[in-house]
């Protein structure tokens, strides 16, 4: 169901400042709302100028808000996501040029300090030569002249890594086996393309997505509740897209390799067959036993933000009615529904379920 088809039509006819000639690089991220952007956009209340994306993930929604001309504060507790926000949402004009690429592709500037990928992931996700390339590239990111360039470099190389593994995540240990499988390679040639080439293939898409919407957009790397506590003053709307508790909620298990690469951990253990870092960051939105309390804390902290939009799925825990009850303590709520076709996704996916959107507004007292 569409919430505001007329509003959408007006926006797209350019009655309002928007920037839809810039394209967000197509993400491959579990739970990404990239394919639901117009639907979400059609539900945004009319009198909104400053918005927060609290669980930004691929940053597709935050970028869409930027395209619509809003001032955007975007956040995720994972650093690889924060880097995309910094490079494509906060950044209004800086791109990577030929000189930056020369720096990034130079040899490892200190093999003594930069060998984490080789040590952890050789023959698990990538062959040794590729891991060494990643370590060298990582050592050189620090040499780029500012944080926007560094963030773009992280965004593109991290995306290249997800392109190079089947299913685009690191929770399985079949990456190299799949890369040696002719049928799989036929379906996805990236499995055998060197990371350096994938980086170059993706670069233009990222550079071309940099634009200035004339607003003071910012990217943050915080826990959701802390983010709300510290940065929600003066915000008109918060968009919440928390992990769907019951399916694929532990983003650290899926994207640990990108986080390890971005943070370049020196003080963690690496465990299980995938060499996932340990201890993990505390989410609060993964386990059934913590989720009710986490939603309560999140919504209580967000009371002063007039409008909320919350993406949800009707297979998640807690169920729809429980969610309505929790939200209703603070806001009026309307629920909109969109069906996933059965052909979408594989085992344990969202196929056949409904994507929900809670649109919440101030309660009349």
Ligand X SMILES: C[S@@+](CC[C@H](N)C(=O)[O-])C[C@H]1O[C@@H](n2cnc3c(N)ncnc32)[C@H](O)[C@@H]1O
Task: Tell me if 29 contacts ligand X by CB under 6 A.
Answer: yes
Binders of ligand X in range 192-231 (CB under 6 A): 223-224
Interacting stretch for ligand X, rule CB under 6 A, among 31-39, 89-97, 156-164, 269-277? 31-39
Among 78, 141, 157, 238, binds ligand X (CB under 6 A): 78
Nearer to ligand X, 18 or 58 (CB): 58
> Is the four-CA dihedral 257, 258, 263, 264 of positive or negative sign?
positive
Task: Tell me if 243 contacts ligand X by CB under 6 A.
Answer: yes
Query: CB neighbours (10 Å) of residue 268?
Result: 15
Among 3, 44, 61, 89, binds ligand X (CB under 6 A): 61
- Tokens representing 263 are 């943070």
Binders of ligand X in range 324-353 (CB under 6 A): none
Binders of ligand X in range 262-291 (CB under 6 A): 283-285
Nearer to ligand X, 81 or 94 (CB): 81
- Taking alpha carbons only, the member of 74, 262, 293 closest to residue 162 is 262
Minimal distance, residue 62 CB to ligand X, in Å: 8
Say if CB 41 and CB 74 are below 8 A apart: no
Say if CB 206 and CB 26 are below 8 A apart: no
Task: Tell me if 41 contacts ligand X by CB under 6 A.
Answer: no
Among 31, 85, 136, 168, binds ligand X (CB under 6 A): 31
Between CA 12 and CA 70 the distance in angstroms is 15
Q: Buried b / exposed e across 307-340, counting CB within 10 Å, b at 16+? A: bbbbbbbbebebebeebeebbeebbebebbeeeb
Between CA 36 and CA 356 the distance in angstroms is 11
Task: Tell me if 359 contacts ligand X by CB under 6 A.
Answer: no
Task: Tell me if 73 contacts ligand X by CB under 6 A.
Answer: no
Q: Which residue ranges make up the site for ligand X (CB under 6 A)? A: 29, 31-34, 55-58, 60-61, 76-78, 81, 223-224, 241-243, 251, 283-285
């Amino acid at each position: 169901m569409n919430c505001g088809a007329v509003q959408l039509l007006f926006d797209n006819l350019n009655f309002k400042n928007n920037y839809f000639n810039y394209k967000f690089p197509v993400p491959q991220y579990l739970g990404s709302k990239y394919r639901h952007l117009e639907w979400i956009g059609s539900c945004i209340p009319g009198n909104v100028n400053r918005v927060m994306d609290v669980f930004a993930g691929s940053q597709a929604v935050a970028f869409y808000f930027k395209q619509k001309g809003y001032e955007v504060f975007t956040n995720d507790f994972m650093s690889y996501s924060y880097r995309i926000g910094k490079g494509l949402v906060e950044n209004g004009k800086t791109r990577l040029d030929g000189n930056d690429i020369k720096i990034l592709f130079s040899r490892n500037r200190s093999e003594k300090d930069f060998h984490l990928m080789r040590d952890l992931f050789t023959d698990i996700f990538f062959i040794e030569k590729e891991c060494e390339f990643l370590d060298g590239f990582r050592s050189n990111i620090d040499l780029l002249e500012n944080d926007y360039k560094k963030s773009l470099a992280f965004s593109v190389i991290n995306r290249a890594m997800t392109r190079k593994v089947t299913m685009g995540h690191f929770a399985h240990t079949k990456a190299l086996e799949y890369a040696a499988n002719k049928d799989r390679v036929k379906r996805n040639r990236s499995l055998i393309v060197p990371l350096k080439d994938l980086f170059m293939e993706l670069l233009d898409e990222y550079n071309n997505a940099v634009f200035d919407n004339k607003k003071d957009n910012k990217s943050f790397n915080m826990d959701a509740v802390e983010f709300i506590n510290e940065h929600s003053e003066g915000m008109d709307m918060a968009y919440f897209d928390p992990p769907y508790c019951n399916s694929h909620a532990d983003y650290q298990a899926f994207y640990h390799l990108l986080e390890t690469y971005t943070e370049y951990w020196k003080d963690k253990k690496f465990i299980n067959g995938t060499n996932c870092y340990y201890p993990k960051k505390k989410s609060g939105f993964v386990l059934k036993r913590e989720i009710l309390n986490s939603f309560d804390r999140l919504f209580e902290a967000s009371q002063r933000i007039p409008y909320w939009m919350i993406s949800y799925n009707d297979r998640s825990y807690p169920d729809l009615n429980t969610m309505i009850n929790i939200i209703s303590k603070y806001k009026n709520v309307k629920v909109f529904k969109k069906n996933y076709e059965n052909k979408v996704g594989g085992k344990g996916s969202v196929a056949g379920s409904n994507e929900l959107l809670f649109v919440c507004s101030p309660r009349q007292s």
